[in-house]
Structure 1
């Protein structure tokens, strides 16, 4: 059974390793601001979801990652549902996320979870392919 919770500072070393492309200061910032969820199975962290707020207002799912061996078992969906629930309770009416245009599996996942493609942007020098953005209206 998967348990979803906010990480504590004792989880920071795991997040440093697993979310290493953002840097330790960003990980600590996100922990301090409550912008992570972690998934545990039998007390072991098996995945995380990191978010921020686009323009300081719109909840933006930045990254969701599930460790190999735990994928396609509902962990990512459990992380997403916990995040969506918290965002809904905080008064959010819109959620946002994105993926690179050549990532069909993440795009399928976003669509299965109610997101609709809303546009794309090219980021020369940062990415070699365009980033596709998705929105989901919350009722």
Structure 2
């Protein structure tokens, strides 16, 4: 059984290790703002979802990561559905996310979860391929 909850200070070391591109200061900031959800199985963290708000308003899923031994078992969907419900509860009517254009599996996952492609952007020097953006109407 997967349990999803907001991350706490006790989860910071795990998140720093598993969300390695962000660094401790950013992880701590996001935890303090409630921008991480963690999924637990048998009391152990097996995945996380990190989000922010695009333009300060639109909930934007920045990263969802599930530990290899727990992928394709519903953990990612449980995280996503908990986030979607939380954002709906805050009055959001639209969700947003993105993927690199050459990542077909993540894009398929977004589509299976109701997202539609809405455009792309190239950021030379920051990424090697364009990012594809997705939105989902929830309200």
Following superposition, the deviation at residue 41 of structure 1 comes to 0.3
Residue 127 in structure 1 maps to residue 127 in structure 2:
yes
Structure 2: segments with no counterpart, 5+ residues: none
How far apart, in 2, do the equivalents of 1:114 and 1:36 lie? 21
| 1:86-97 paired onto structure 2 within 5 Å | 86-97=86-97
How far apart, in 2, do the equivalents of 1:44 and 1:23 lie? 21
Q: Deviations over 1:7-54 (max 9, x none)?
A: 111111000100110111110010000000000000000000000000
How far apart, in 2, do the equivalents of 1:136 and 1:70 lie? 25
Residue 27 in structure 1 maps to residue 27 in structure 2:
yes
State the match for 1:57 in structure 2.
57
TM-score by length of 1: 0.99
State the match for 1:110 in structure 2.
110
Q: Which runs of 4+ in 1 moved over 2 A?
A: none
Matched residue pairs, number? 139
Q: Deviations over 1:89-116 (max 9, x none)?
A: 0000000000000000000000000000
**Which secondary structure does the structure 2 equivalent of 1:102 belong to?**
coil
How far apart, in 1, do the equivalents of 2:22 and 2:6 lie? 18
TM-score by length of 2: 0.99
How far apart, in 1, do the equivalents of 2:131 and 2:11 lie? 30
Following superposition, the deviation at residue 132 of structure 1 comes to 0.1
Q: Deviations over 1:44-84 (max 9, x none)?
A: 00000000000000000000000011000000000000000
How far apart, in 1, do the equivalents of 2:81 and 2:138 lie? 12
Alpha carbon RMSD of aligned pairs, Å? 0.5
Structure 1: segments with no counterpart, 5+ residues: none
| 1:44-83 paired onto structure 2 within 5 Å | 44-83=44-83
How far apart, in 2, do the equivalents of 1:109 and 1:25 lie? 30
